[in-house]
Structure 1
Amino acid sequence: GKYPQDNVVEFRLVRHPLELRCPKLAKERVCTFASCTMAVLRNFLCVRFFQDEPRAFELLMNTKAQDDAILPDDLTLLGAAAMLWGRDAEMVLMYRSTERFTM
């Protein structure tokens, strides 16, 4: 069935504009639970890009306070949404590789 809209967040997960090593995701639009944490998203990227180490990735967002804000593992999507400019703005999270990323 359909989940109540309040518990679900839709957003785009895109490659950081300066990222060179990590490919783009085939599907950028993601819809998942608002309680999902950045740690879960990093594990998702590990599966997609065949990495063993979640620290191979950083997740970032342009927030009200700063561009390229690095998002901590325990932050939920709901928490990330609260850091956006406007409620109606599309949420876009960016990923980039760290030195732990293996080719």
Structure 2
Amino acid sequence: MAYLNLETNLPSSVVTQEFRKNLYQLIAKNLPDSNRLIMNVITDSPIIHGLSDKPYTLYHLTSTNGLGVQENKVHSKNITDLTQAELGVTLHRIKTLFHILNPHELSC
């Protein structure tokens, strides 16, 4: 099971349903239990990074499997490429956190 949380200061009008669908498919295809991915998107968040309120995205991917050094590089590149292309957020304002859970740490 995996959980993807995206928090951004972009308005919901920019983070379209099409982007959400593309993001979900991109992450799910690289996870072993792709049909068990839960995704949450929070827009209009008052995020400030480096004293700037320019567009910023913070992703947090938590999973019981499908994460590791090599896997995270793939997820990170995919997330970064999609975010730059579809949302126009610059590279240094896209952050991704990865958290590997033991199966007993997640109830489903």
Q: TM-score, normalised by structure 2?
A: 0.30
Q: TM-score, normalised by structure 1?
A: 0.31
